Amino acid sequence: KPLKFVTLVGSLRKDSLNATVARALPQLAPANVEIAPLGSVGDFPLYNADVQEAQGFPEAVLQMASMIAEADGLIIVSPEYNYSVPGVLKNALDWLSRVSPQPLVGKPVMIESASPGVIGGARMQYHLRQILVFFDAKVMNKPEAMIGQAMGKISEGKLTDAATREFLGKQLQAFADFAAH
């Protein structure tokens, strides 16, 4: 039976480097792995407990929660904003954290980031790991994928850099092994 992973992107930008990386993953995955995109975090309203109490969860939140719950693993691909997690991604995680049963408990999670800078989003990844401690998610430690100087590795909406493609393929293989155990 194939493993099913879902991707969550932390950028709303049309030409997002991170969305481009996420779109490349299905072609880089091992043969027994299927990868599908989740909806956009831009479809979530700003978290407000009053809204949740009065109207319940937005449909987009419930749909994403159930797709994550059904998946064998979650892949988060996100930029770093001011050394941390973009607000739109944190907002989505805040919504998802309130859904019961909580879809990320024990869920295998892999993190990737791309940036024009040399650090490749590393500081965001360590803040994201801290948030995922609350969720009690099962976050893969290594290999880490921080794609620095990503402008030179992406062209016309495609991840073109051969070394990066090869490395992400290896990370996906490691995640498949991690998620299967």
- Across 122-156, b (16+ Cβ under 10 Å) vs e yields bbbbeebeebbeebebbbbeeeebbbbebeebbee
Q: Which of residues 79-108 bind ligand FNR (CB under 6 A)?
A: 79-83
Query: What distance in Å separates the CA atoms of residue 29 and residue 23, rounded to the nearest whole number?
Result: 11
Strand partners, 73: 5
- In the complex with ligand FNR, which residue's Cβ is closer, 99 or 153? 153
Q: CB-wise, 17 or 110, nearer to ligand FNR?
A: 17
Q: Which stretch binds ligand FNR (CB under 6 A): 45-53, 112-120, 128-136, 163-171?
A: 112-120
Residues 116-175 that bind ligand FNR (CB under 6 A): 116-117, 119, 121
* CB of 7 or CB of 115, closer to ligand FNR: 115
Q: How far is the CB of 11 from ligand FNR (least distance, A)?
A: 3
Contact window for ligand FNR (CB under 6 A) among 44-52, 75-83, 104-112, 136-144: 75-83
Amino acid at 137: A
Cβ count near 106 (within 10 Å): 9
Alpha-helical segments (H) within the chain: 17-28, 49-55, 59-70, 87-98, 122-135, 162-180
DSSP-derived 3-state class of residue 67:
helix
Is residue 96 within 8 Å of 38, Cβ to Cβ?
A: no
Nearer to ligand FNR, 16 or 102 (CB): 16
Among the candidate windows 49-57, 60-68, 111-119, 162-170, which touches ligand FNR by CB under 6 A?
A: 111-119
Question: Which of positions 3-32 make contact with ligand FNR (CB under 6 A)?
Answer: 11, 13, 16-18
With CB atoms as reference, the residue minimizing the distance to ligand FNR is: 79
CA dist., res. 80 & res. 15, Å (int): 16
Binding site for ligand FNR (CB under 6 A): 11, 13, 16-18, 79-83, 115-117, 119, 121
